[in-house]
Chain A
Amino acid sequence: MREGLTHPLLLRVLSVALVVGAWEYAGRVPISPAFPTFQETFAAFLEMVKDGTLAKATWITLKPLALGLFTSVVFGVAIGTLMGLNRFAEWLGSPVFIIAQSAPLAALIPILTFAYGIGLTSKVLTVCIMAMPVIVLNSLNAVRHTPNSLVEMGRAFLASRAKLVTKIILPAASPMIFAGLRLGCAAGFVGVILAELLITPTGIGDIITYNQSIAEYPKMYAAIAFIIVFSVLFIEAIEWLERALFGRNKGQFHAERETVPA
């Protein structure tokens, strides 16, 4: 009986039910005129799905997100790897990125707006400044911590520098690089939403601010819940991609080498 009570799936369902129930109750009380019930929110969500506003908004939001993440990943991994292989690059770049990782970079958004206006560029750059530091630092650490004996083995079997990097260092570094990608994506989502709330409202940010201004709270909450769930699924998808790329066999290798997010 005890076993049954603590079964993971049952508890997960139970906890979701509890949260939904609490939400519904809080909405009915109501704890605030600005707090809709779960039912109302869900209904608003379905409405936006049906009339296509949600899909359109997601598409608009995805543009700077995808562009920003792509740039961050390509440049971030490249810079981080370079810093991992070259002491001078590390000396030059490390302090900057370490500061960037703990600093509240969101504060730079107004400055970006001044420099690049209120268009797509600013939003893409916002995603970049939020996502790049963690990707760079993870790549740097991953490359620096390549097990010495593997590098030595590569040299013993006459690998050139280039082959050492592509056949040994990068594969060994990939679990940590992927962990960095996931963190970077999470940061990217924060960036794009902030950009939409602070620069000019477009996409999902627009749905949120517009409905907030006309007090259409169910739609506002629905959009917020949607983007949160969407970002979580997106990050899950990256983990799935990692598993697909590297196969079951390397699952253990990847699982052993990851770190807790900062």
Chain B
Amino acid sequence: MQNEKQSRPSTPAMVQVRGVSKVYEGGVEALNGITLEFPQGQLTSLLGPSGCGKTTLLKIIAGLITPTAGEVHVDGKKVTGPGPERAFVFQDFALMPWADVMRNVAFGLELKGVKRSEREAIASKYIQAVGLKDFERAHPHELSGGMRQRVGLARALAVNAKVLLMDEPFSAVDEQTRRKFQEDLLQLIDRERKTFIFVTHSIEEAVYVSDRVVLLSRRPSRVSAIIEPDISRQDDPDKIRRDPAYLDTVENIWQGLKHYVE
């Protein structure tokens, strides 16, 4: 297990989850006593089998769902609902089909009451950053799945939140696009210096992009393990995928999770 560090993170925690449980109406227990910390400026993945409650946990952090027990603190303040310091990227994009790309990306700012000229300027910057320059006036139905997801990402970036919450953002696109997104995400993290919390069910994806991987067990979910892949990301992105450290980490996690599938 030389390739993983399982020590306490040394950077301060931006998001603290304490004893969070969630029981749905009808008695379905999704989460059971989750206690976690998410270090500032790092990307932490929530990984686990399907239906294990990782999206539930993400939405609790986002303030979209209230926990049955426990608390979440973001930047020292308790979470009671959605807030300006957190931005969400949806799995099914959640774009407004009647609005063009510019309006969709600027939507978070529009809701804050930012003047039109100002918010379009900010939105333009992020539209360009995600590679959709020239598509400002297009509508969602004219875009591919990958492009729509980039709009969702640009929208979340435009509000300049400290914490970015991403719910399986790359699961609805094809494999090639997905790989490209993962590579782009690494560059983004490097540039933006925000705290990222990333939900995925793909082990390779988690290990590829994350500074820390939190493994959640099957429902009712508990924290099963925390792994910090010791992978150098300075190199060529393709090289990472053949790095022995990367492959070993993936294999170890898979072995750990395998018995849930059987």
* A and B, direct touch (CB closer than 8 Å): yes
Instruction: Report A's interface with B, CB cutoff 8 A.
Output: 149-150, 152-159, 163, 167-168, 171-172, 174, 246, 249-250, 252-253
Q: B39 near A: Cβ within 8 Å?
A: no
Pair B98/A153 contact, Cβ less than 8 Å: no
Q: Contacts A158-B84, A252-B141: A149 and B111 contacting too (C-beta < 8 A)?
A: no
Q: Contacts A152-B90, A153-B88, A163-B111: A158 and B82 contacting too (C-beta < 8 A)?
A: yes
Find chain A residues with CB under 8 A from B159 CB.
157
Q: Contacts A149-B94, A150-B94, A249-B139: A156 and B111 contacting too (C-beta < 8 A)?
A: no
Expressed in whole angstroms, the Cα–Cα distance for A152 and B110 within the complex equals 16
Contact partner, B62, options A156, A168, A249, Cβ 8 Å? A156
Pair A157/B108 contact, Cβ less than 8 Å: yes
**Which 7 A-B residue pairs are closest in the complex by CB-CB distance?**
A153-B94, A156-B88, A157-B108, A253-B97, A149-B94, A249-B139, A250-B98
Closest to B86 in A: A156
Closest to A149 in B: B94
Q: B83 near A: Cβ within 8 Å?
A: yes
Q: How many A-B residue pairs have CB under 8 A?
A: 59
Q: Contacts A155-B82, A158-B112: A168 and B97 contacting too (C-beta < 8 A)?
A: no
- Determine how close the nearest CB of chain A comes to the CB of B136; give it in whole angstroms: 13
Binding site secondary structure of chain B: loop
- Determine how close the nearest CB of chain A comes to the CB of B189; give it in whole angstroms: 21
- Determine how close the nearest CB of chain B comes to the CB of A4; give it in whole angstroms: 34
28 contacts between A and B (CB under 8 A): A149-B90, A149-B94, A150-B94, A152-B94, A153-B88, A153-B94, A154-B111, A156-B88, A156-B90, A157-B82, A157-B87, A157-B108, A157-B111, A158-B82, A158-B83, A158-B108, A158-B111, A158-B112, A167-B110, A168-B96, A171-B96, A172-B96, A246-B98, A249-B139, A249-B142, A250-B98, A253-B97, A253-B98
